[in-house]
A and B are shown apart, each in its own frame.
Chain A
Amino acid sequence: MASLPDEFTDLDRFVTAGWALPGSAERWKRRVTSSTEEVKDLYETLLPRMDAIMTYLDRYLLADLPETDRPLLYLALAFMDVAPTWEVFQAADLPEPAFEIERMHMVERPFPWEERAW
């Protein structure tokens, strides 16, 4: 199991819980299948750390980010994925009615280090 850089090992439990996912679609799915408490814990724990996380990760340009720093990036992306909905609704997902997630086919931009095409 990948762990986070020394400064951020207190956040390892979120990696263990499967929040550090490279794919935007799987990140989204992880969120909407989570309990309110789980999303609240992620949001409230990461919010005061995000400034430090973004400063730390910006030591490199995106294309040069070392593999060891990627789990921290994926965790930061999980924060940004839950944030807009959490900040408005204090929920893991939009209240109904909203267009069903299962019906939205999603294709995402690969990271520079990924081999796959679109």
Chain B
Amino acid sequence: MGNPENPELPLRQWGKKYPDLGTHPLPHEPNISPAYFEREREKLFKRSWLLLCREDEIPNPGSYAVKQVEILETSVLLVRGDDGVVRAFHNSCRHRGNKVVMGSGEKTGESEGFVCGFHGFTYDLRGCLKSVVDEEDFYQLDKSRLSLKSINCETWRGFIFINRMDTPTETLEEALGDWAKNMEPFPFEDFELVDVYSSRVKCNWKIGLDAFQEGYHALTLHGKTAAGVFTPKDNPFSHLINVDLFPEGHRSASFPANSEFEPSPSVMLALKHAGNNIYAYEEAGEKRNLPGVNQSGAADWSFDINIVFPHVQLLASDAFYVTQHFWPVSVDETYWELRQYLPKSKTVSDRIAQQNSQAALRDVIREDMVTLENTQSVLRSGAISHMELNDSEILVRHSYQKVDERVNAPD
């Protein structure tokens, strides 16, 4: 396949698979333009299925969680009803709009219903308005028409998605497309959430996501910590070993493993007593080969990066999965949330091995995260108008193309 943009420049491996993405430098304007950001809000985020969290964060009838979704300019109240159904509402009382569950941060709990703390309007677990203080003093109050305003909410493999449109133009299944069909068999339920990190970071959400959708940086940024795991002798720059880009905007890529990597003493202890570590999983000395990942079936595979369009990174391997949300706040601010899931701990050694993985991942993530504000703070100067991207960074290229398609789509 020739390079449609420049016949003199032969396409490299992944460029050949996706020649229409082009090879040109990409403008940084989408990362610094307030006008572009507002178009992202209106035309992308307010019209897409957005991955929020997993269902097991609200496990029981009456479990609820409040999420401040600033890009949708609302507070979302997720509730598991007495019928077991997960519903999403605007966390806003039908009386005068006060938050039914008050506070500015994330919140979870168990409840039999919700009482607005302002005037005492009371809602049940399905969002229906049940009682009003001094109801006779109102003129035309029809409680049956004053349920909490619902937000479209669907689940896939235990993940909760919401869609802000009154009538979504596509179902969640349609929006997830073939990416979800590939990932479907991955045994998410065999893992447990071990920790959650969050922070407000002064960068555009795409600058955040970009740092986590390529492996080109591993050799430099993670040169001492993690790079050795992903840089086999025959692939020293950790070139991607599989790439799948989907028309719906999702994407995934597989990374090589260095079979000659020598685990550290603490990793050896984790492997011996628990059989797993984020850098390795062995069952009786054999690799697990979980379904739903490593789509090319490569022998020396370490992990996959998935991007659940538009703003969530989902890392998955035989030994862990991680989600990272990059929630846009403003053109140069992002609310970042990382959730780490590890094999369920039954034995004490399982828990001890988890701690090793937790500390190792935290180090690598802190190396990644430091680049975000360093990048954004100089982009604002306008000195660097474009970014250069190599073949290993093709997911970044796909990301900008898909966001651009939505932002520039006719109304």
Q: Known contacts A99-B370, A105-B198; decide if A83 and B272 are in contact (CB<8 Å).
A: no
- Write the B211-228 contact mask toward A (1 if CB under 8 angstroms, else 0): 000000000000011000
Residues in B220-249 with C-beta less than 8 Å from chain A: 224-225
Closest to A65 in B: B348
Judged by a CB distance under 8 angstroms, whether A89 is at the interface is: yes
- Beta-carbon contact of B195 and A107 below 8 Å: yes
Residues in B302-346 with C-beta less than 8 Å from chain A: 345-346
Listed from nearest, the 3 A-B pairs whose CB atoms lie closest are A83-B266, A99-B369, A80-B355
Judged by a CB distance under 8 angstroms, whether A19 is at the interface is: no
A interface residue count range (under 10 / 10 to 19 / 20 to 34 / 35 or more): 35 or more
Question: How far, in angstroms, from A60 to B347 measured CA to CA in the complex?
Answer: 7
Question: How far, in angstroms, from A39 to B370 measured CA to CA in the complex?
Answer: 24
- Beta-carbon contact of B351 and A73 below 8 Å: yes
- Beta-carbon contact of B348 and A62 below 8 Å: yes
**Per a CB cutoff under 8 Å, which of B196, B348, B358, B366 touches A99?**
B366
- Beta-carbon contact of A88 and B225 below 8 Å: yes
- Write the A54-81 contact mask toward B (1 if CB under 8 angstroms, else 0): 1101101110010000000100110111
Task: List the B side residues contacting A106 at CB < 8 Å.
Answer: 195-197
Question: How far, in angstroms, from A73 to B368 measured CA to CA in the complex?
Answer: 31
Question: How far, in angstroms, from A58 to B275 measured CA to CA in the complex?
Answer: 14
Judged by a CB distance under 8 angstroms, whether B38 is at the interface is: no
Query: Could you jot down 7 A-B contacts, CB within 8 Å?
Result: A24-B195, A24-B358, A50-B266, A57-B348, A58-B273, A62-B351, A81-B359
- Write the A85-113 contact mask toward B (1 if CB under 8 angstroms, else 0): 10111000010011101011111110100
Q: How far is the CB of A48 from chain B (nearest CB, A)?
A: 10
- Write the B350-367 contact mask toward A (1 if CB under 8 angstroms, else 0): 111101101110110111
**Per a CB cutoff under 8 Å, which of A28, A97, A109 touches B370?**
A97
Judged by a CB distance under 8 angstroms, whether B210 is at the interface is: no
Judged by a CB distance under 8 angstroms, whether A17 is at the interface is: no
Residues in B341-400 with C-beta less than 8 Å from chain A: 345-353, 355-356, 358-360, 362-363, 365-370, 374
Question: How far, in angstroms, from A47 to B266 measured CA to CA in the complex?
Answer: 8
- Beta-carbon contact of B224 and A108 below 8 Å: no
Judged by a CB distance under 8 angstroms, whether A117 is at the interface is: yes
Judged by a CB distance under 8 angstroms, whether B108 is at the interface is: yes
B interface residue count range (under 10 / 10 to 19 / 20 to 34 / 35 or more): 35 or more
- Beta-carbon contact of B355 and A54 below 8 Å: no
**Per a CB cutoff under 8 Å, which of B197, B345, B370 touches A62?**
B345
- Beta-carbon contact of B347 and A62 below 8 Å: yes
Which residues on B are within 8 Å of A, measured CB to CB? 57, 108-109, 192-200, 224-225, 264-266, 269-270, 272-273, 345-353, 355-356, 358-360, 362-363, 365-370, 374
6 extra interface residue pairs, beta carbon distance < 8 Å, beyond A73-B352, A104-B197: A57-B348, A60-B348, A84-B264, A87-B264, A87-B266, A98-B366
Question: How far, in angstroms, from A80 to B225 measured CA to CA in the complex?
Answer: 15
Task: List the B side residues contacting A97 at CB < 8 Å.
Answer: 370, 374
Q: How far is the CB of A44 from chain B (nearest CB, A)?
A: 11
Q: Known contacts A62-B348, A73-B352, A94-B367; decide if A80 and B196 are in contact (CB<8 Å).
A: no
Tell me the dominant secondary structure on chain A's binding face: helix
Closest to A111 in B: B351
- Beta-carbon contact of A54 and B366 below 8 Å: no
- Beta-carbon contact of A99 and B359 below 8 Å: no
Question: How far, in angstroms, from A28 to B272 measured CA to CA in the complex?
Answer: 24
Task: List the B side residues contacting A89 at CB < 8 Å.
Answer: 224
- Beta-carbon contact of B265 and A47 below 8 Å: yes
Q: Known contacts A109-B194, A109-B195; decide if A80 and B348 are in contact (CB<8 Å).
A: no
Q: Which of A47, A55, A80 has the most CB of B within 10 A?
A: A80
- Beta-carbon contact of A61 and B348 below 8 Å: yes
**Per a CB cutoff under 8 Å, which of A77, A98, A118 touches B367?**
A98
Q: How far is the CB of B402 from chain A (nearest CB, A)?
A: 27
Question: How far, in angstroms, from A74 to B164 measured CA to CA in the complex?
Answer: 45
Closest to B265 in A: A47
- Beta-carbon contact of A105 and B347 below 8 Å: no
Judged by a CB distance under 8 angstroms, whether A26 is at the interface is: no
Q: How far is the CB of B370 from chain A (nearest CB, A)?
A: 5
Q: How far is the CB of A31 from chain B (nearest CB, A)?
A: 9
Closest to B279 in A: A84
**Per a CB cutoff under 8 Å, which of A73, A94, A104 touches B199?**
A104
- Beta-carbon contact of B273 and A77 below 8 Å: no
Task: List the A side residues contacting B348 at CB < 8 Å.
Answer: 54, 57-58, 60-62, 65, 73
- Beta-carbon contact of B366 and A58 below 8 Å: no
**Per a CB cutoff under 8 Å, which of B108, B349, B365, B368 touches A118?**
B108
